[in-house]
Amino acid sequence: MSVKPIREHAGKSLLAKHLPELSGGKHSMGSPGVLVTPAVLDPASGQTWDLLLQENPWLKTSKLVAKPDQLIKRRGKAGLIAINKTFDEAKQWVMDRMCKEQQVETVTGQLTHFLIEPMVPHTQEQEHYICMLSHRYEDEILFYHEGGVDVGDVDSKAEKLKLPTGAELTADAVKKTLLNKVPAAKQDNLASFVVSLYKFYQELHFAYLEINPLVMLDDNTVVPLDMAAKIDETANFLAAQKWGELDWPPPFGRAAYPEEALIRDMDGKTGASLKLTILNEKGRVWTMVAGGGASVVYADTVADYGWGHELANYGEYSGAPSTEETFVYAKTLLSLMCRHKHPDGKFLIIGGGIANFTDVAATFTGLIKALQEYADDIKSNNIKIWIRRAGPNYVEGLRKVKAASDKLGLGLKVYGPETHITAVIPMALGLQAALPEPDLSAASGPPLRKLIELKGPRPTPKGQPKPPADAKHTIVTATPETTSIVYGMQNRAVQGMLDFDYMCKRKKPSVEAMVFPFGGNHYVKFYWGTDEILMPVWTSTKEAIQKHPNASVFINFASFRSVHETSMEAMNYPGIKTLAIIAEGVPEQQTRDIIKVAESKNVGLIGPATVGGIKPGCIRIGNTGGMLDNIVMSRLYRPGSVAYVSKSGGMSNELNNIIARNSDGVYEGVAIGGDRYPGSRFLDHFLRYQDDAGAKMMVLLGEVGGEDEYDLINAVKSGRITKPVVAWCVGTCASCFTTEVQFGHAGAQARGDLETAAAKNKAMKEAGFYVPESFDKLPSTINEVYTKLVEAGEIVETPEAETPQVPMDYTWAKKLGMVRKPAAFISSISDDRGEELTYGGLTISDVFNQQIGIGGVLSLLWFRRQLPKECTQFIEMILQVTADHGPAVSGAHNTIVTARAGKDLVSSLCSGLLTIGPRFGGALDDAAKMFADAQDSGIAPKDWIEKMKKSNQLIMGIGHRIKSLANPDQRVEIIKNYAKKNFKSTPVLDYALAVEQITTRKRANLILNVDGCIAVSFVDMIRSCGAFSREECDDLMEFGCLNGLFVLGRSIGFIGHYLDQLRLKQPLYRHPWDDITYIQELA
Which active-site residues does the annotation give? 745
Strand partners, 699: 644, 726
List, edge to edge, every strand of the sheet that includes 642-646. Answer: 619-620, 612-615, 666-671, 642-646, 697-703, 725-730
Longest dimension (CA), the chain: 121
Closest CA to 299 of 311, 310, 317: 311
List strands edge to edge, sheet with 114-118: 34-36, 114-118, 64-68, 82-85
Segment holding 946, helix H or strand E:
helix 941-950
d(CA 566, CA 568): 6
**φ/ψ (deg, to 5) at 214:** -100, 115
Cβ atoms 400, 363 nearer than 8 A: no
Contact 104, 189 (CB under 8 A): no
Contact 592, 234 (CB under 8 A): no
Q: 747 with 708: CB under 8 angstroms?
A: no
Q: Which of 658, 690, 659, 688 is nearest to 672 (CA)?
A: 688
The H or E element spanning position 117 is: strand 114-118
Q: How far apart, in whole angstroms, are the C-alpha atoms of residue 288 and residue 412?
A: 14
**Cβ 116 vs Cβ 89: under 8 Å:** no
Q: How far apart are CA 982 and CA 970, in angstroms?
A: 18
For residue 928, the SS3 value is helix
Q: What length does the chain have?
A: 1083
CB 905 within 8 A of CB 961: no
The answer to whether the beta carbons of residues 1025 and 867 sit under 8 Å apart is yes
Long-range contacts of range 175-180, CB-CB < 8 Å, 24 or more positions apart?
A: 178/141, 178/143, 179/143, 179/145
Neighbours of 262 (CB within 10 A): 15
Helix (H) / strand (E) element for 699: namely strand 697-703
Roughly what angle, to the nearest 10 degrees, separates helices 708-717 and 757-766?
A: 10
Yes or no: say if 669 and 652 are a contact pair by the CB < 8 Å rule.
yes
Helices and strands (H, E) in the chain, number of each type: 38, 35
Range 417-420, long-range pairs (CB < 8 A, 24+ positions): 417/354, 417/390, 417/444, 417/630, 417/633, 417/657, 418/444, 419/388, 420/658, 420/776, 420/779
Distance of CA 93 to CAs 96, 229, 469, 614, Å? 5, 25, 69, 61
β-partners of residue 581 are 556
Indicate the SS3 state at residue 972.
helix
Query: What are the φ and ψ backbone dihedral angles of 832, each rounded to 5 degrees?
Result: -110, 15
